[in-house]
């Protein structure tokens, strides 16, 4: 008897499932192999040689080309160069952070946050939150700072190239949660008139690299923020729940000048189709899961959720600009 369309579809779904399930069983191998490649310095080896290398294992990241002897070899691609530890586009430190035992352990306790009314999976795995852990472990703190610097270089370049007018008229700029100062080093180089204040926890800024035009200041953003014409805060607010975000934003609003001041927020916006670069949609959704695993109340926010925290913090208006990055740029005005 001839199969019906429904039966054919069900059979195809069953056949697809037989293959698809293995992606979940062994899905971790992609991360493990890439981490291994970073640790072994494979991308650097190819770059230093300056000619293709014959290693079949490189096929996923490197471009296959014929050699003069007729055999096949592999050379660098834009993706493989991101595995290098140095360079403007490198993401090696981010890979090493997220694949580290410290950051992987909470994923085994992810259900804790769902079932235990907000209890952090990171707390469950390590007995303290991610910030306390980093404060007590200098090596892990550096790994976090190096990883954040990877994304900062990409996001800041996207902002500087895509909407440099955001910084018009700003002479002093405080970076809230600025880690090692990469954001302000990049911005003061692009806009030499700007004097930067890199503001973060004392154990973070005490090891930050000195930079002309940038002052490193230690403190707690929940207690207050150094005064400046404007404030920039990148990938910090998604670490916190709404109440904490509102508190941080209120402190930022108090620190900036009332006439020309603004708070420049660099964060992801999810579930929005208008004005947001959707090539990164899946990354934004993955980040939301990362926040669930690594923070107490952190999350990625929709436009509606951003509107809520900004209004509650007392901002009168805001602009949103899509940039070629995971994040969007939000300018919030007093």
Name the active-site residue from 216, 267, 272, 294. 267
Buried b (16+ CB within 10 A) or exposed e, 51-85: ebeeeeebeebbeeeeeeeeeebbbbeeebbbbbb
The answer to whether 2 is a known catalytic residue is no
Active site residue 238: yes
- The answer to whether residue 203 is catalytic is no
Choosing from 216, 238, 272, 294, the catalytic residue is: 238
Catalytic residue among 216, 272, 294, 300: 300
Residues that are catalytic: 238, 267, 300
């Amino acid at each position: 008897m001839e199969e019906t369309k429904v039966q054919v579809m069900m059979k195809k779904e069953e056949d697809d499932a037989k293959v698809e399930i293995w992606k979940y069983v062994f899905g971790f191998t992609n991360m493990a192999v890439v981490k291994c490649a970073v640790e072994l310095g494979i991308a650097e080896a190819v770059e230093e040689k300056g000619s293709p290398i014959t290693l079949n294992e490189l096929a996923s990241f490197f471009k296959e080309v014929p050699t003069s002897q007729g055999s096949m070899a592999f050379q660098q691609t834009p993706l493989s160069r991101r595995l290098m530890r140095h360079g403007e586009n490198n993401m090696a430190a981010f890979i090493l952070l997220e694949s580290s035992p410290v950051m992987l352990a909470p994923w085994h306790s992810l259900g804790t946050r769902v079932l235990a009314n907000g209890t952090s999976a990171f707390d469950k795995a390590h007995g303290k939150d991610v910030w306390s852990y980093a404060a007590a472990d200098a090596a892990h703190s550096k790994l976090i700072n190096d990883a954040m610097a990877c994304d900062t270089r990409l996001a800041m370049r996207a902002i500087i190239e895509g909407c440099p007018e955001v910084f018009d008229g700003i002479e002093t700029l405080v970076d809230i949660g600025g880690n090692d100062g990469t954001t302000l080093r990049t911005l003061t180089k692009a806009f030499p008139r700007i004097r930067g204040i890199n503001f973060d926890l004392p154990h973070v800024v005490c090891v930050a690299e000195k930079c002309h035009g940038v002052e490193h200041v230690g403190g707690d953003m929940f207690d207050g923020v150094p005064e400046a014409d404007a404030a920039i805060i990148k990938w910090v607010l998604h670490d916190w729940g709404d109440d904490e975000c509102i508190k941080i934003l209120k402190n930022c609003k108090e620190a900036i000048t009332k006439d020309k001041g603004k708070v420049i927020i660099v964060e992801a916006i999810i579930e929005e189709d208008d004005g947001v670069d959707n090539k990164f949609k899946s990354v934004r959704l993955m980040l939301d899961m990362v926040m669930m695993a690594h923070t107490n109340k952190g999350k990625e926010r929709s436009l509606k959720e951003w509107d809520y925290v900004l209004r509650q913090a007392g901002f009168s208006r805001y602009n949103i600009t899509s940039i070629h990055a995971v994040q969007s740029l939000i300018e919030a005005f007093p």
